Amino acid sequence: MKKLINEPGDVVSEALRGMAAAHPDRLRVDHENRIVYRKDAPRTGKVGLISGGGSGHEPMHGGFVGLGMLDAACAGEVFTSPVPDQMMAATKEVDAGAGVLHIVKNYTGDVMNFEMAAELAAADAGTEVLSVVTNDDVAVQDSLYTAGRRGVGVTVLLEKIVGAAAEEGQPLQQVADLAKKVNDNGRSMGMALTSCTVPAAGKPTFDLADNEMEVGIGIHGEPGRQRLPLAPAKEIAAMLVDPVVSDLPYRQGDSVIAFMNGMGGTPLIELYLMYNEVAQLLDRAGITVARSLVGNYITSLEMAGCSVTLLKVDDELVRLWDAPVNTPGLRWGA
């Protein structure tokens, strides 16, 4: 294992200290509870937005804390859910009287622990909490970590769009309904060229030969739909786009946000090459790309690979997408 670390057990806590040191103008970090907060949270009258999950998917979620996105993010150990006490502390801290929305990826530990935290916060402080669970991965119905579909790339788009709505002062139920709308209209699928190595494990999560790829992989290294011989980018793009388009389904005349996400170890030159293939497939299908996002946003440590997310949008979703955002991982208009 070759990684830029000290001790495997200290990776998360030391990374959070680095994040706090790098962004003191935007963030504050509760190191005891491993919670990243927006520096000016809580904000009176604003719905608080909280997400979180296992570390190793950076910049998700701590990198999306700030103006126009999250108010707090709870960091678990690598690929391990945060505990309810973390989530309860974050919920109580960002409640400024307008309630709190939990944004939860559909992994069993995350769902269970966020539910417990919501109940505890309501009982202890009377906080009104609503939740949305993202489950946009079309690759498999169930995986090692989930009952039902995994929550993946749509989570990034949802946090941005819902974050803009909360920034405008929209009420909790309206923000929650918007989050559900985004989740219902988004689909994703990913693939891997290599495994990743969890620091505490010290060895790759799975074995993948140099001439193989895994199609439908999860962000924790869960197996995908099938293991296949390595193929040209245009064929890989079709393997990802076709199941996504057919699942919703997306139809000729639809407008989408097209998100080409890197899994952590794929350079931008390859992600843009892949985006070009995806854009051509969408054009041939009569699907208009209203906005695009290309880069490493929901990763799996140093895994090489990518995922495609399509979100069907209307004018209101595009307006909220374009609204100012200022976080370590995403910034425009501010």
> Where exactly are the structural domains of the chain?
11-185, 186-332
Is 31 an annotated catalytic residue? no
The mean pLDDT value of the chain amounts to 96
Cite the DSSP H helix spans in 172-289. 172-184, 233-247, 268-284
Is 220 an annotated catalytic residue? yes
Residue 95, pLDDT above cutoff 80: yes
From the number of C-beta atoms within 10 Å of its C-beta (0-12, 13-18, 19+), residue 132 rates as buried
CATH superfamily for domain 11-185: Dihydroxyacetone kinase; domain 1 (3.40.50.10440)
What tokens appear for 59 in the block?
């910049």
What architecture (CATH level 2) is domain 186-332?
2-Layer Sandwich (3.30)
Query: Residue type at 189?
Result: M
Find, among 196, 257, 249, the residue nearest to 222 by Cα.
196
Quote the radius of gyration of the chain (alpha carbons, Å).
19
Pairing between β-strand 288-295 and β-strand 186-192 as defined by DSSP bridges: unpaired
pLDDT tens across 131-159, in order? 999 999 999 877 777 778 999 999 999 99
Confidence of residue 98 (pLDDT cuts 50, 70, 90): very high
Catalytic residue among 23, 61, 102, 220, which? Answer: 220
Catalytic residue among 23, 57, 61, 102, which? Answer: 57
Mean pLDDT of 44-68: 97
SS3 115: helix
Cα(152)–Cα(158) distance, integer angstroms: 11
User: DSSP letters of 61-103?
Assistant: TGGGBSBTSBSEEEEEEETSPPPHHHHHHHHHHH--SS-EEEE
E strand or H helix that includes residue 158: helix 154-167
pTM above 0.85, yes or no: yes
